[in-house]
Amino acid sequence: MKRYFFSFIIAIALVCGFQVNTKALKTRAEYEKTGNAVWDVKTNQKIIALTFDDGPHSKYTPQILKLLAKYNAKATFFVTGERVELYPDITRQISKAGHEIGSHTFSHPRLSRISENNLRNELRLTEDVVERITGKHIALFRPVGGYYNDLVVNTAAKEGYRVILWSWNHDSKDWQKPGFHRIVMNVILDIKPGNIILMHDGGGDRSQTVKALKFILPELKRQGYEMISVSDLLLRSGYDGIPVYLK
């Protein structure tokens, strides 16, 4: 049914003269079957992954690091290379605290218009600066805006990255600045083992995110959840490239 719907949309778009990127219409399940893109995993263990995009930030990242340490939580920070260059000390703090660092491109470009060569350069530049500052290799990539298609996923895979998105019902929406109460509810409601949660430590005023974490972290601990890095989530859930629920 979905394929017929997509075909209908494409036909209408072509009649109207719009350019259509049919590669972007591949389903989530099709990408997950390749093992090159992950939204969440199936596990019975009470483990989840908190992720933070667009940093590091000179003010908010250190505040978030302190809160994570207070509740013995680990996270994955998807950084931009430009900001790593601006804040190398904070990047080292992230790494030394035992958190994972992933790539969020170098300059935060719009991926719907990027070429394969430019995306490859974005990935390589970010990896170079992170490795120079932390001495650690990057294995994960989160596309800007969560945008993905064949070019994005396949280019990342060729460069040795797994694309990490987030659980569809666990975008904290902190980028909308909806108030810390709403951010808390967006994370806590319907939380399930294996979820990957989207938050931000950079890209603007993240004071609401920091305030929300003061409620989110103890509540998740109270519910018995362990907060770990994305790579640990994949490893501990037995993820081998194909999600368990698709086998």
Burial 159-177 (b: 16+ CB within 10 A, else e): bebbbbbbbeebbbebbee
128: pLDDT strictly greater than 90: yes
Geometric angle at alpha carbon 217, from 105 and 181, rounded to 5°:
85
Which pLDDT band, with edges at 50, 70 and 90, does 239 fall under? Answer: confident
Phi, psi of 113 (to 5 degrees): -120, 5
In this predicted model, which residue has the larger pLDDT, 107 or 16?
A: 107
Q: What is the pLDDT of residue 31?
A: 92
Q: Give the residue among 199, 202, 207, 156 at the shortest CA–CA distance from 179.
A: 207
User: 10 Å Cβ neighbour count for 69?
Assistant: 13
- For the chain, give every domain's residue range: 31-246
pLDDT computed for residue 225 by the predictor: 98
CATH code of the region 31-246: 3.20.20.370
pTM for this prediction? 0.88
Return the active site residues: 53, 200
Cα–Cα separations (whole angstroms), residue 127 to 67, 99, 101, 103, 123: 27, 16, 10, 7, 6
Contact 175, 203 (CB under 8 A): yes
Q: At 33, list the tokens.
A: 């079957």
- Above 60 in pLDDT, residue 9? no
pLDDT of 26 above 50:
yes
E-strand stretches of 95-223: 100-103, 140-141, 162-164, 196-200
Q: What mean pLDDT comes out for the span 209-235?
A: 97
112 — pLDDT class (breaks 50, 70, 90)? very high
- The residue among 2 and 57 whose pLDDT is bigger is 57
Q: How far apart are CA 122 and CA 203, in angstroms?
A: 18
Q: What is the pLDDT of residues 163-210, one digit of tens each?
A: 999 999 899 999 999 999 999 999 999 999 999 999 999 999 999 999
What mean pLDDT is predicted for residues 142-147? 96
